[in-house]
Amino acid sequence: MTKRLNLFFLIISVVGLGLLSPVQHKSFASSTWKPAYSDMLGKPYKHKVVKYSPTGWGNYEGGYRKEYFSSDKHIQYRYLLKSRTMVYRYNNHDKLLQSKYNYLKIVMRHGHKTPEYSYYYKLGHHKWVYSVTYKYWLRGPVKY
């Protein structure tokens, strides 16, 4: 009787692991970095600055964007559905930062046709710095 019971639990555990393994693999695949393309966040025909940080926006627009976030090659993104956050990863070419990547985070709010995007940037191992919030009027709804 105990051999049958042990065999039963063994079969149930193997079947259970078989059912759970695709779920774990799928959740792992959804958190991987994917290559970015240009029209991911829609095509705006109008935009407006809603809020900005004088220091963050000044530093970012003053030189960081051109120096650290202007590369078109090998840009990758990760999208977090729960918080509607898009994180872009750029290759870092500055050896003084001692980091392989620089990051740009976009937090999306208020709908898919007229969203507000808040921009944050991170250089190397530094903390996230708020830059600016834009309201966009898009030609078509964005899927994110």
CB-count burial class (<10 Å; 0-12, 13-18, 19+) for 13: exposed
Half-sphere exposure of 128 (CA within 13 A, CB side): 12
Is the pLDDT score of 23 beyond 80? no
Question: For 54, how many CA atoms within 13 A lie in the half-sphere containing its CB?
Answer: 0
> What is the C-alpha separation between 11 and 5, in angstroms, rounded?
10
- Give the CA-trace dihedral at 76, 80, 83, 89, to 10 degrees: -20
Residue 59 has pLDDT above 80, yes or no: no
Each residue of 27-37: pLDDT tens digit?
444 568 998 88
Q: How many CB atoms lie within 10 A of CB 1?
A: 5
- Does position 61 have pLDDT exceeding 50, yes or no? yes
Residue 120 has what pLDDT?
93
The pTM for the full model equals 0.72
The domain spans of the chain are 1-31, 33-138
The amino acid at residue 78 is: R
Instruction: Note the pLDDT of residue 15.
Output: 53
Tell which wins on pLDDT, 1 or 40.
40
